[in-house]
Amino acid sequence: MDNMIVKGMKFYGYHGVFPEENKLGQKYEVDIELAMDLEQAAATDDLTCTVNYAEIHALAKTIVEGPAFKLIEALTGHIASRVLEAYTMVNEVTVRVTKPNPPFDIHFDGVTVELRRKRDADGRTIPA
């Protein structure tokens, strides 16, 4: 299986459990890995044989900058589900969402949630 990785996307969102997070917002970093067959795209140089990564960016932006989730686990899962719904050629998706500055009095580089999802035989999204 081939992979396309859209890495280091940065968005501003209002997700979190604390009211300050929902009011002030913060930056989020998103990486999305798409597992799919890219043989035809490589051979033909045809955009219709692959996933347009600008569309992946736009999809992630709409979700991260959209309605708030309490948990980044829910935010990450929503991105994964929407990618699989929108792009049937994607067999499996891995989404990483990093909250670089959680509102705690501790010092670290942030917290990342990584979810891997795929489509089952009936087309439902399941853990990979």
- pLDDT tens, position by position, 107-128: 788 889 999 999 888 888 888 8
Domain CATH code at residue 10 = 3.30.1130.10
CA dist 128 and 122 (Å) reads 15
Q: Is the separation of the CB atoms in 32 and 56 below 8 Å?
A: yes
Q: What is the residue range of 105's domain?
A: 2-127
How far does CA 55 lie from the centroid of its chain?
Answer: 12
Q: What percent of the chain has pLDDT over 90?
A: 81
Dihedrals phi, psi of 38, to nearest 5 degrees: -110, 15
Q: Is 68 helix (H, G, I), strand (E, B) or coil?
A: coil
Count the domains in the chain: 1
The length of the chain is 128
Please name which of 76, 74, 77, 79 lies closest in space to residue 62, comparing C-alpha atoms.
Answer: 79
What integer pLDDT is reported at residue 46 of this predicted model? 98
CA dihedral 9, 46, 115, 103 (to 10 degrees): 10
The amino acid occupying position 122 is D
What integer pLDDT is reported at residue 126 of this predicted model? 87
Residues 43-57 have pLDDT tens digits of: 999 999 999 999 999
Catalytic residue annotation:
99
Please name which of 86, 77, 96 lies closest in space to residue 58, comparing C-alpha atoms.
Answer: 86
CA dist 84 and 74 (Å) reads 16
Please name which of 27, 30, 36 lies closest in space to residue 4, comparing C-alpha atoms.
Answer: 36
